[in-house]
Structure 1
Amino acid sequence: MKFLVPILIIIPAIEITLLLTVSSKIGILPTFFLILATGILGAYLAKKQGMKTLHKARQQMNSGQVPGEAIVDGLCILIGGLLLLTPGFFTDTTGFLLLIPATRKFIKPTVMKLFQRLFQNRGRFTIIR
């Protein structure tokens, strides 16, 4: 939570800077179409990778395995797809890194560590009745 406010300030500042820099180099219209193309390509890749991961998770569950890795893949694909739908070059780059399986395999261990810390028992219990 303490990182949320800086992220909400820093990421848009990076995006605006990159958009202004690129549009001054190649023009406004090509920049617009580039952003549009990455959004369309991102939606296509997210759907394709998401369906593949869903199929993998179903196979693992049908064989009695816990689909832990498939769940992390699915989360990375979801976040990557959302980032690609967000206009900007920084978020697009991050989104593509999360969608491409070759680069995602380097990111997954970090995501797993974050999940372990998030769900680790810290002596607090919540009982809902």
Structure 2
Amino acid sequence: MWILIAILAIPVIEIALFVQFGSEIGVIGTLAWVFLSGALGLVLMRLEPYRNAESVRAALARDASPASPMAHSALRMIGALLLLLPGFFTDGLGLLLLLPPVRALILQRLVLNARAAPSMRPARDDVIDGDYERQPDVQQNTQHLPPRQKRD
């Protein structure tokens, strides 16, 4: 439900911010901001795979888990994508995701929520108790099978 509200609210927030900032910095300033933030987002998206590979390689060289560098990389990529979208609100969120302390806080909250969430595994109350007996393999009745053809 909250995703639907966010999808509907973000364009309204963007329009309000365009009107507010557009009256302050003008049309040229607003367009320059949109194009420059889009270009910055595009550059960051293109450079992120190289940065990710280097940070994962460094983590593996230290015998550390590559999960944290990969999670930081995913959040940086989301930040770059938000910069690529036109709008002041999405640019602000994208710039926040590029800050390491903000990413660390988000990842910490995600890990705490994942640990606190109830298990997604179903309860094991469907176990059927029974006995079984292993029987030797039965020879196939080869009378009903067509003869094998020899391959040359």
1:23 corresponds to which letter in structure 2? Answer: G
Aligned match of 2:55: 56
Q: Does 1:86 align with 2:85?
A: yes
Number of residues of Structure 1 aligned to a counterpart in Structure 2? 123
In 1, Cα distance between equivalents of 2:112 and 2:46: 26
Aligned match of 1:35: 34
Q: Does 1:111 align with 2:110?
A: yes
Q: 1:102 to 1:122 in 2, by over 3 A?
A: closer
Aligned match of 1:98: 97
Q: 1:45 to 1:72 in 2, by over 3 A?
A: same
1:10 corresponds to which letter in structure 2? Answer: A
Unpaired stretches in structure 1, ≥5 consecutive residues: none
User: Would you say the 8 A contact 2:42–2:80 is kept in 1?
Assistant: yes
Give 1:57 deviation, angstroms: 0.9
User: Would you say the 8 A contact 1:54–1:70 is kept in 2?
Assistant: no
Q: Does 1:73 align with 2:87?
A: no
In 2, Cα distance between equivalents of 1:108 and 1:52: 19
1:56 corresponds to which letter in structure 2? Answer: S
2:4 corresponds to which letter in structure 1? Answer: V
Unpaired stretches in structure 2, ≥5 consecutive residues: 124-152
In 1, Cα distance between equivalents of 2:112 and 2:70: 14
1:103 corresponds to which letter in structure 2? Answer: V
Aligned match of 2:44: 45
Structure 1 length normalisation: TM-score?
Answer: 0.78
Tell me the percent identity.
30
In 2, Cα distance between equivalents of 1:111 and 1:29: 40
Which one has a bigger Cα radius of gyration? Answer: 2
Q: Does 1:123 align with 2:121?
A: yes
Superposed CA RMSD in Å reads 2.6
**Partner-residue secondary structure (3-state), 1:27:** helix
